[in-house]
Structures are given as C-alpha cells and as structure tokens.
Amino acid sequence: MSKSSDFTILPSHVGVIMDGNGRWAKLRNLPRTAGHKEGAETFRKIANYACDLGIPVITFYAFSTENWSRPELEVNAIMDLFRDYLDEAKERQAENEERGMRVRFIGDLTGLDADIFEMAMGLTDLSSDKTRITVNVAVNYGGRQEILKSVKEIASRIQGGEIVPDDIDINMISDGLYTANLPDPDLIIRPSGEYRLSNFLTWQSAYSEFWFSDILWPDFTEEDFDEALRAFEKRNRRFGGI
C-alpha cells in the first residue's frame, strides 16, 4: 500500500458514496443485509487508511434521506449496523485517539432513533479535540435538504432584523451547512458503476473532481483508493481559469 510521501498531492477532502452493497449480496445469493455488513467493514478500512495517508477530511455517504423508502427489514439492519459501529468506536476510543481521528455525523440526526442519536453525539464529543483527520459520516443526509436548512436559517436572521437580503453571500450559505469550517471536497469517489451524485454534498461539490469505478463498495480496497488518488493527481484544476 502507498504512503503519503508516494503522492505529489493529496486532496484535502475526499467524499465517498458507499454504493453497491445490495448488488454485492445479490451476486452471492445473500440477503442485502449481508452486503451492508460487509460494506461497513470496508468503511472502517478506508477511513483508517485515509488517516494513515494524512488526508485531513473524508466524508462517507452512509444513509440518505431517500433511503427510508427501502424495505423496513433492510432499514432496521442498517440502523443496527450504525449501533454496532458506535459501540465498536467507543471500545476503540484509545486507538482512535492515537490515530487523531475526529468523528462527526452530518445530516438530520433528529430523525434517528434516540439511542443512535445519543451514541452519535457521545462519540462526536469524545473525539472533538482530534485534529489529524475528520471523518464525517452522512446519516439521514440529503444535499438539497442541507441547502434548505441553511437558507431557512438565513431567512430567520432576516426576519429577526439581524441581516438584510443584500448581506447574503456564498460564504453565508456555506456557513449554514453541516460541513461549515471544512474545505469543500476536492475529490468524490463513487464505486458500483453509477455516475451521479445522488444528492450528496450538492453545494460543496461545485468544483470537485469525480472518480467512478465498477467495483462494488464491499470489494473496494486500499489499492482502489490509491488508484482514485493517482487519477486526482493528474487532473488539471483550473477553477474557471485558464
């Protein structure tokens, strides 16, 4: 596996759409829940690897606002996986502290079961002072809904007389997002053969580079992550310039 010194440039923020769990399971005649369980292991592996490489921020798309429409059995299984991850993260607190890993959960967490919400907030608080890497886990998250949240907060400030419409700028909208004070993603990775954002980091991805692959998420390896980073190195990022 690579080291950070092997790359000429690393993205400051990587977004990952964890896709293909269900198809992975179907190909093996397994229940979809088995695919989600295997995908959770891949999440842990890639988060640790990104930390070892020295990537400052990585955001994983774990559960969207639209995913509630999936079968109840599958949704419940995913929620149980969140519980398992949160329990395990608490048990590995010393290891995560040594890694310098800050874990945050972004999205409308009030829509989650109370026990998951409390465990997520507890883990966030425990790791809040870590600075080597920020791992964002997007749960009950939607990019459009995130923008709407920010706009509503701005509207409330206008209604309260704190600001006027002419005060609104791009930074003000960004400051109302879940990723406030973090860099926008330089690179977004989507495995599984799909070529769309699926309501992920909609505002923040305005100038992101994209890397797509046919690999299903449970099969995604550190070497595949390296391949995405190699492709990023070769991109000419002009941001509208020449």
Residue 134 tokens read as 């920020």
- Interhelix angle for 222-233 vs 32-53, to 10°? 50
C-alpha span between 143 and 164 (Å, rounded): 25
Give the active site residues.
19, 67
216: left (phi over 0), alpha (psi -120 to 50) or beta: beta
C-alpha span between 41 and 85 (Å, rounded): 9
C-alpha span between 4 and 7 (Å, rounded): 6
Q: Going by C-beta distance under 8 Å and a sequence separation of 6 or more, which residues neighbour residue 191? A: 17, 18, 19, 20, 212, 213, 214, 215, 216, 217, 220, 224
Instruction: Tell me the sheet residues that pair with 102.
Output: 134
